[in-house]
Amino acid sequence: MSDRQVEAGMPDKPSRPPTGMRVGFDRLDALTPRTLVAQAVEAILGAVALGQFLPGDRLVESEIARRLGISRVPVREALRLLESQGIVHNEPFKGMRLMNVTSRDCREMVVIAREFVHLAVRTAMAKPAVPDRWEGVRRSVEALRSTAPDPHSLFLAQSEVMQQIYLAADNRLLSTMALALRARFSVYASLLTTPERLLARQPYLETLVACIEAGDAASVARSVAKYFDPDTVPDVEALLAEARRRQKRRKDDPE
């Protein structure tokens, strides 16, 4: 294991999540500059989802580049791309910071996600029937059932089911908008993705897929509404405050 991997707390050969999001700061292969930018974005979002950065934290370009083992140029471009999506913001004389979070924003995102997924399902169900239309969804649900009960793995596995639903809809604009929303959700992931919360929602997701395969549009709508229920969003500000306290304890008493 290299010094950089030790510092980042990552294994020698990390497994790649099903959705393409990297698990925190992996070392990147030597690729084209454009691909490096895309992978830097994935790595940053993966680190955010793991809680390596908390909402409002400063994102230091040179430190991220060092931990990824790449130059600062693709990291700079990645941060600019995330800034254009509202995920990071540039404070004059202070640099880039991760977006802040609120319970209201989270509830609003849940409502939008609900409508996006429902639209994707309706779009896919309205297309001419083909035998393998939902094959990717079936496989992702099977993978979800065998996923280890740790928060990040469950988050990625449930996200993969949604990704396969969008692929079944075959609407590029909808998929692009959904990916942008998912990137924003990653900022909330480390606060909201407890095993208990994710496991409690999993039956709704499995019911949704069963209703899709049965072609039951009314039950699909009910299942989507149960899975994406804004009333179940907890007090995000309180969760962030607790995460900050844990972060401070780790800094004050490193192992």
pLDDT the model gives residue 24: 56
CATH 1.10.10.10 residue ranges of the chain are 3-100
3-state helix, strand and coil shares in percent for the chain, rounded to the nearest 5: 65, 5, 30
Cα 128 to Cα 120, 123, 195, 253, distances in angstroms: 15, 10, 38, 60
Q: Which residues contact 6 (CB under 8 A, 6 or more apart)?
A: none
Determine phi and psi for 98, rounding to 5 degrees: -70, 145
- Judge whether 114 and 204 are in contact, CB under 8 Å: no
pLDDT the model gives residue 244: 93
* Separation of CA 142 from chain center: 20
What is the reported pTM? Answer: 0.80
Q: What is the CATH number of domain 3-100?
A: 1.10.10.10
Q: What is the CATH number of domain 103-238?
A: 1.20.120.530
Low-confidence residues of the chain, pLDDT below 70? 1-34, 254-255
Cα 169 to Cα 122, 166, 185, 212, 222, distances in angstroms: 8, 5, 21, 12, 19
Cα 17 to Cα 63, 129, 158, 195, 199, distances in angstroms: 24, 30, 11, 17, 19
List pLDDT tens digits, range 51-61: 999 999 999 99
CATH 1.20.120.530 residue ranges of the chain are 103-238
Sign of CA pseudo-dihedral 230, 231, 232, 237: positive
pLDDT the model gives residue 35: 86
